[in-house]
């Protein structure tokens, strides 16, 4: 199985900060990478698919990049509603696997 490793596991940031989260795959996965946001008690929400494509309705302050084994999710200017846990996910290769999550907390 392909393992997905996220870092950091948590980050403290202020409103307006630029936040970057990384995800590394244990082997090359081309651009088959998605990012989800999850708030407490809620289902995950798809933000980015195919490594860099913005899901419909997601604010443009979210962006994704990378291919092969190394990927990043960037929030260009953190907003109050962005405090949540973020997961990367391997797509199009089964079994699907998720990273361990990155909790974005208020500084």
Partner 1 sequence: QVQLVQSGAEVKKPGASVKVSCKASGYTFTGYYIHWVRQAPGQGLEWMGWINPNSGDTNYAQKFQGRVTMTRDTSISTAYMEVSRLRSDDTAVYFCARERVATITGLFDYWGQGTLVTVSS
Query: Contact residues for partner 1 (CB under 8 A)?
Result: 32, 34, 36, 38, 43-46, 49, 55, 87, 89-101
Q: Which is nearer to partner 1, 2 or 17 (CB)?
A: 2
Q: Which long-range contacts (CB under 8 A, 24 or more apart) does 54-63 make?
A: 62/35
Q: Sort strands 53-54 and 45-49 into parallel, antiparallel or unpaired.
A: antiparallel
3-state secondary structure of 11: strand
- Rounded Cα distance, 72 and 88, in Å: 9
3-state secondary structure of 74: strand
Question: Shortest gap between Cβ of 14 and partner 1 (angstroms)?
Answer: 25
Q: Which is nearer to partner 1, 45 or 61 (CB)?
A: 45
Question: Shortest gap between Cβ of 102 and partner 1 (angstroms)?
Answer: 10
Q: Which is nearer to partner 1, 26 or 92 (CB)?
A: 92
């Amino acid at each position: 199985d392909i393992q997905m490793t996220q870092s950091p596991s948590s980050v403290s940031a202020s409103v307006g900060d630029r936040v970057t989260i990384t995800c590394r795959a244990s082997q090359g996965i081309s651009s088959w990478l998605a990012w989800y946001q999850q708030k407490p008690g809620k289902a995950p929400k798809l933000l980015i698919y195919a490594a860099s494509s913005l899901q419909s309705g997601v604010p443009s302050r979210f962006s994704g990049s990378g291919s092969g084994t190394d990927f990043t999710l960037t929030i260009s200017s953190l907003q109050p509603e962005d405090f949540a846990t973020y997961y990367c996910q391997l797509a199009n290769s089964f079994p699907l696997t998720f990273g361990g999550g990155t909790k974005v907390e208020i500084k």
